[in-house]
Amino acid sequence: MDDLLTAREVGEILGLSAGTLANWRSLGIGPTNFKVGGRVRYRASSVNDWIAEQEHDAVG
């Protein structure tokens, strides 16, 4: 089973504030997220995939 991360945890991984992630969610950018019981969660695999995409885009 894939681990679920909070916005705070994802922010720590990416070096961003939870507020920045909230802004990104409203703009439809950043790692894929969803709500569980009204709280935002991210799958660890989705965050890792998003990081890999950013690395790929930066390289070429």
Q: What is the DSSP string of the chain?
A: -PPEE-HHHHHHHHT--HHHHHHHHHHT-SS--EEETTEEEEEHHHHHHHHHHHHHHHH-
User: Per the confidence metrics, is the pTM higher than 0.85?
Assistant: yes
Distance CA(46)–CA(13), nearest Å, equals 13
> Candidates 3.30.230, 1.10.260, 1.10.1660, 3.40.50; correct CATH number of 4-59?
1.10.1660
pLDDT at 8: 97
The 10s digit of each residue's pLDDT in 1-60 is: 789 999 999 999 999 999 999 999 999 999 999 999 999 999 999 999 999 999 888 776
Whose CA is closest to 21, among 37, 43, 3, 6? Answer: 6
Break the chain into its structural domains and give their ranges: 4-59
Amino acid 27: pLDDT: 98
